[in-house]
Amino acid sequence: MIGMYALAAAWLALAILATVLANRLKVSMALTEICVGMAAGFAAERWLPPGALGADEPWLRFLAGAGAVLLTFLAGAELEPVVLRAKAKEVLVVGAVGFVAPFLGCAAVARFVLGWDPAASWLAGVALSTTSMAVVYAVMLETGFNRTEFGKGILGACFVNDLGTVIALGLLFAPFTRRTVVFLVVSALLIALLPRLTAGLTRRYAYRTAAIRTKWVLAVLFGLGALALWSGSEAVLPAYIAGMVLAGAAADDHHWIRRMRTLTIGFLTPFYFLRAGALVSLPAVAAAPLVFLLLFGAKSASKIFGLFPVVARFRRERNERWYYTLMMSTGLTFGTISALYGLSHGIVSRQQYSFLVAVVIASAVIPTLIASFAFTPRHLLPAADAPPGAQPPRDEDGLGQE
C-alpha cells in the first residue's frame, strides 16, 4: 500500500507540474501532460530500475482507462441532438474522409515504402487513421469551443472518424462472435433505456441524496466497458454513445456536469495523458528517425490533403478551416489501443509498435500546438465568457446540490 500511495503522489505531482506549464505556456493541459509523461518515461528508463514509474501497474492502468472513458462520455454529452442533426452532413462527410484518407495512405506507406508485411501495414493504417476524441474534447473544453456549433461539429466528426477505426479493426482482425452480438444487443437496450432510467432516478432521489447520478452514470459506464472488453471491443465506444443520449440531462443541469468534469479532469485524465506519454520509447524512435518521420508525414499529409478541401465546403474562413483540419489530424486513444492490439496479437513487432505509438503521440501534440498558436478562430469563441478581471466560476463540490 505504501508503494501505491507513493506512486500516486508522484504521478499527481507530475500532473501539477504539467498544469503549471500549461498555464505558463498558454497551451492545452492535455498536451503538457503528454509531454511531461514522455520526459518522465525517458528519465525513468534511463536512470531508474525497470518499472519504477509504475506505468503498467494494474490500478494505474484502470485509473487511466477510467479517465479515457469518462472524458469520452463528457464529449458525447456536449453533442446536443438538435445541433448534431443540423450538422449531420458535415459530421458524416468530414468524419468519413478523416478515416479513409489516412487509413489507405498510411497502410500504403508501411507496405510499399517501409516494407512491412500486409497484416502489419493494415494495422498501421488502422492505428494512424484515428483522431483523438480525448485531446480534442480537452482542448474544446479549455477554449470554450465545446459550447459553440463549431466545436460540436468537430466533436461529432471525431466520433465518426473513430467509429470507422473501430469497425475497420474489428473487420480486419477481430472475429465477429456471439459475444459481439451479446454486446451489441445489451448495449443497445441499455442505452435506449438510459435517458428514461436516469430521469426517473433524478426525479426521485437527486437533490436530496449525495451524488446519486454520478454513481449511477459511473456504474453504467463501467458495466458497459466491462461488456465491451469481454466481447473484444473497447470501453470508450459505448461511453461516447451513452454521453450522447444523456446530452439533454447534461444541458438541463450544469452543476452536475461541472462536477463530473471536476472528477474527470482533476483526478482521472492526468493518469491517462501522463501514461500515454510515458509509454513512448524515445531511444527506440531516435534509433531510426526516418521510419518515424515517414509514418508521421504519411498520417499528417493524408489527413490534411484529404480533409482541408472537404472542410472548406463547410467552413469559409481561413482559420476555421485550418483549425478544424488540424484538430481532426490528432490521434491518441484509439491509435494506441489499435497499436497495442497489434502487439498483443503478434501482428506487429515491438519495434513497429514503438514507432506507431510515437507517431500517435506526436500527432496528439504537434497539430494541436500549431492549431492553438496559429489558427485559433477567436471570433467564434463564446462572447463575454470572461470579462476583464473576472474570476471564472468555481466548481462547488457540495454534494447536497446533486
Residue 383, pLDDT score? 66
What's the whole-number average pLDDT of the chain?
A: 85
What are the cell numbers at 382?
A: 463564446
Q: Cell 493518469 sits at which residue?
A: 271
Question: Residue 157 falls within a domain, yes or no?
Answer: yes
Nearest-angstrom CA–CA distance, 19 and 33: 8
Question: Residue 221 falls within a domain, yes or no?
Answer: yes
Residue 30, pLDDT score? 78
Q: What is the pLDDT of residues 10-40, one digit of tens each?
A: 999 999 999 999 888 877 787 788 889 989 9
Contact 277, 135 (CB under 8 A): no
Q: How many residues does the chain have?
A: 402
Residue 141, pLDDT score? 84
Nearest-angstrom CA–CA distance, 75 and 134: 8
Q: What is the pLDDT of residues 341-386, one digit of tens each?
A: 788 778 988 788 889 988 988 898 899 989 988 999 999 987 644 4
Q: Is the pLDDT of residue 164 over 80?
A: yes
How much of the chain exceeds pLDDT 90, in percent? 38
Q: Cell 466560476 sits at which residue?
A: 393
Nearest-angstrom CA–CA distance, 30 and 25: 13
Encode burial over 12-22: b for 16+ CB neighbours within 10 A, e otherwise.
eebbebbbebb
Question: Residue 19 falls within a domain, yes or no?
Answer: no
Question: Residue 26 falls within a domain, yes or no?
Answer: no
Nearest-angstrom CA–CA distance, 87 and 35: 34
> How many Å separate Cα 64 from the centre of its chain?
12
Question: Residue 16 falls within a domain, yes or no?
Answer: no
Encode burial over 203-239: b for 16+ CB neighbours within 10 A, e otherwise.
eeebeeeebbbeebbbebbbebbebbeebbbbbbbbb
> Checking phi first, is residue 26 left (phi over 0); if not, alpha (psi -120 to 50) or beta?
left
CA–CA distance from 382 to each of 7, 144, 369, 378, 387 (Å)? Answer: 39, 7, 21, 9, 12
Nearest-angstrom CA–CA distance, 282 and 41: 9
What are the cell numbers at 274?
A: 501522463
Q: What is the pLDDT of residues 94-149, one digit of tens each?
A: 999 999 999 999 999 999 999 999 999 999 999 999 888 778 888 888 888 988 88
Q: Is the pLDDT of residue 222 over 70?
A: yes
DSSP secondary-structure letter at 158?
H
Nearest C-alpha neighbor of 161 from the set 286, 22, 334, 321: 334
Residue 187, number of CB atoms within 10 A of its CB: 20
Dihedral (Cα; 252, 254, 259, 262), 10-degree rounding: 130
Angle 60-65-67 from CA coordinates, rounded to 5°? 95
What are the cell numbers at 162?
A: 473513430
Nearest-angstrom CA–CA distance, 338 and 330: 15
Going 363 to 366 to 368 to 371, the CA torsion angle's sign is: negative
Domain count within the chain: 1
CATH of the domain at 301: 1.20.1530.20
* Pairwise pLDDT comparison (388 vs 186), residue with the higher score: 186
pLDDT range class, residue 209, cuts 50, 70, 90: low
What average pLDDT does range 238-261 have in this prediction?
Answer: 82
Residue 387, pLDDT score? 38
Report CA Rg, the chain: 20
pLDDT range class, residue 287, cuts 50, 70, 90: confident
Contact 280, 112 (CB under 8 A): no
Question: Residue 255 falls within a domain, yes or no?
Answer: yes
Angle 263-75-9 from CA coordinates, rounded to 5°? 30
Question: Residue 288 falls within a domain, yes or no?
Answer: yes
**What stretch of H or E contains 99?**
helix 88-108
* Pairwise pLDDT comparison (219 vs 71), residue with the higher score: 219
Nearest-angstrom CA–CA distance, 50 and 16: 24
What are the cell numbers at 151?
A: 466545436
> Checking phi first, is residue 257 left (phi over 0); if not, alpha (psi -120 to 50) or beta?
alpha
What average pLDDT does range 318-331 have in this prediction?
Answer: 94
What are the cell numbers at 252?
A: 438541463
> Domain limits at 239?
60-380
How much of the chain exceeds pLDDT 70, in percent? 92
Contact 109, 298 (CB under 8 A): yes
Residue 326, pLDDT score? 95
Nearest-angstrom CA–CA distance, 18 and 24: 10
pLDDT range class, residue 388, cuts 50, 70, 90: very low
